[in-house]
Amino acid sequence: MSVSARPLEHDHAQVRSAIIHRRPIAALYRGRTRLLCPHRLGWNRHRRLQVLCYQYGGDSESGLHPTDPSENWRCLAVENLSQVELLDAPWQAPENHSRPQNCIEEVELDVDDFPAPD
């Protein structure tokens, strides 16, 4: 295993854990701190590992929309995530949490496949 592969594997594992246990994450994405709830993980048509997240805090190039949370869905390339950290914070998802998406063709994990904690 190359040294450069280790951070990607770690970040991939953290995203997987967040989905399975419905825990938010904090991460850097292209230099911006983001607070995210990952909902779906998988590969796009170019075999790039992507994660569909609900962003509830932090910074974003397009800005967050507090009046319309349905606009805060992000499809992010896992390779561009760094410093991924599981948070002890409430899971967040707007009403349209199962909205159609086309950024992931082959699903590895989906939060709806795991029961919500009581």
The answer to whether the CB of 32 falls within 8 A of the CB of 58 is yes
Distance CA(53)–CA(103), nearest Å, equals 11
**Which pLDDT does position 77 carry in this prediction?**
95
Q: pLDDT, tens digit, for every residue of 78-117? A: 999 999 999 999 998 876 655 557 889 999 999 999 887 7
| Mean pLDDT of all residues in 1-9 | 59
End-to-end CA, the chain: 39
| Mean pLDDT of all residues in 30-41 | 94
**Which pLDDT does position 70 carry in this prediction?**
76
Helix (H) or strand (E) holding 12: helix 5-21
Considering the entire predicted model, what is its pTM?
0.85
**Which pLDDT does position 98 carry in this prediction?**
53
Mean pLDDT of the chain: 86
Specify the higher pLDDT residue, 102 or 2: 102
Two tokens at 11? 């970040």
Residues 6+ positions from 24 with CB-CB distance below 8 Å? 18, 35, 36, 37, 56, 86, 87, 89, 90, 91, 92
pLDDT cut 70: percent of the chain above it: 86
